[in-house]
Amino acid sequence: MDAVKVGLLGLGTVGGGTVTVLRRNAEEITRRAGRGISITHAAARDLSKPRNCDTTGIELTTDAEEVVSNPETEIVVELIGGDTLASEMVMKAIDNGKHVVTANKALIAKHGNEIFAAAQKKGVMVAFEAAVAGGIPIIKAIREGLAGNQIQWLAGIINGTGNFILTEMRDKGRDFDEVLKEAQQLGYAEADPTFDVEGIDAAHKLTILASIAFGIPLQFDAVFTEGISKITREDVAYAEELGYRIKHLGLTRRSNGGVELRVHPTLIPERRLLANVDGVMNAVLVMGDAVGPTMYYGAGAGAEPTASAVVADLVDVVRVLTSDPENRVPHLAFQANRLSDMPILDMTQVQTAYYLRMQAEDKPGVLAEVTRILGDSGISIEAIIQKEPLPGSDKANIIMLTHRVEERSMNEAIAAIESLPVIHGEVTRIRMETLNAD
């Protein structure tokens, strides 16, 4: 049987890695897929640019549409990124009756509902394992391996750049700005790091995970997103002192009122496996009602780890090229006509515990006034640390851990605390999750 012909859009880091993995492991991949897989055409913006792969035998072009429209191409692999040209090319590929594999989380998070509807109508597959957590097969795990479970919640470290920064801040007592510059020098962060450090990249990925976990439409605009740029090394140290570590988590949970969908810095007990995922590594912890907690750990980015997921998707598509479209694994895990209309909770409705840090004048009665405000808002305190003022200063740091409370109550309490004349500056608030298995 002839090899399946693939058209590749994008010959950057992941595109080159995909070419390399397909060629190096060709025999093994053919054994798994039942047919060979061959990249015959590829599009790149600059054909003179040095490549991290051997493009011998691949017809190269600068015109992506030429690849998408080629009648010989059965599968289009989209690795150009962004959600403008990529969206246009993916929709054209589907319209031309071609299957699609993509590593583009922004594309799926923002346009996935439209893309999957078009694919369903045309009877083609859109595979996107590489869009979340690089080489970790988290989408297949939730969509297929955990199909017998009701997913209760999942929490993930799904951006390696942010995790590297927080790890360095904790291990070496460094400031955020200093570590960010190093991350940029090492190639972990872009020149404009906003997508990584402000949580947008993680929000794209969480949108996809929540949709697959709970069978809801993709709703990127509903994700509450908060970055790590305001985290100080003092916060990291105080968290350690209290037995916690700060991680930039994407978290989604099914509750009676709807679905929580949020990305923010989070204190996690230091004994949890997720709290010990360091550097640029990714991990996702999933709680199923039957299986309990399962964790998936690995490289969340890089040429070959991400290519591993791209090639796995290619193998899946090739395996089902001749199967009945009605019996394929649904794009979002649940049958398209059975997606749920469960609402996404507004962040003010979410219940969580909190770490609070504030600068207060070092005088009697201040702590009592703060605790009174918290008590009036129905917020109980788990732990308090008061740090002595530094030499020459009359201001002390007060650090508190609270029990779980609705965010709206905490918002009101923080506003009241910040209005006190003895409190200086803003109250630092970091949410806390125990991630218990019960």
> Is 122 known to be catalytic?
no
14, part of any domain: yes
- Do 95 and 9 belong to one domain? yes
Using CB atoms within 10 Å of the CB of residue 365, give its burial: 0 to 12 exposed, 13 to 18 middle, 19+ buried: exposed
Q: Return all residues near 274 (Cβ < 8 A) that are at least 6 apart.
A: 155, 157, 247, 268, 283, 285, 295, 435
62, part of any domain: yes
Sign of CA dihedral 197, 176, 346, 254: positive
- Do 205 and 283 belong to one domain? yes
**How many domains are contained in the chain?**
3
437, part of any domain: no
Q: Dump pLDDT digits (tens) for 138-183.
A: 999 999 999 999 999 999 999 999 999 999 999 999 999 999 999 9
327, part of any domain: yes
- Do 86 and 147 belong to one domain? no
What is the pLDDT, as a whole number, of residue 438? 53
Q: How many CB atoms lie within 10 A of CB 394?
A: 11
- Do 313 and 275 belong to one domain? no
- Do 294 and 309 belong to one domain? no
Whole-prediction pTM value?
0.91
**Three-class SS of residue 390?**
coil
CB 150 within 8 Å of CB 289: yes
- Do 357 and 332 belong to one domain? no
Q: 421 is in which domain, residue-wise?
A: 351-432
Selecting among 205, 230, 247, 387, the annotated active-site residue is 205
- Do 158 and 276 belong to one domain? yes
- Do 263 and 311 belong to one domain? no
- Do 84 and 188 belong to one domain? no
Q: How many CB atoms lie within 10 A of CB 409?
A: 16
Q: Which of 31-45, 281-295, 356-370, 384-398 has the lowest mean pLDDT?
A: 384-398
Helix (H), strand (E), coil (C) string for 50-83: CCCCCCCCCEEECCHHHHHCCCCCCEEEECCCCC
Average pLDDT over every residue of 69-90: 95
Average pLDDT over every residue of 126-143: 94
Per-residue CA distances from 100 to 10, 129, 318 (Å): 14, 12, 11
**What CATH number is associated with residue 121?**
3.40.50.720
Q: Dump pLDDT digits (tens) for 238-257.
A: 999 999 999 999 999 999 89
**Three-class SS of residue 253?**
strand
Average pLDDT over every residue of 10-16: 94
CA contacts within 13 A on the Cβ side of 343: 7
Average pLDDT over every residue of 31-43: 93
Model confidence at 75: pLDDT above 80: yes
- Do 293 and 214 belong to one domain? yes
Residue pointed to by tokens 């002839």: 2
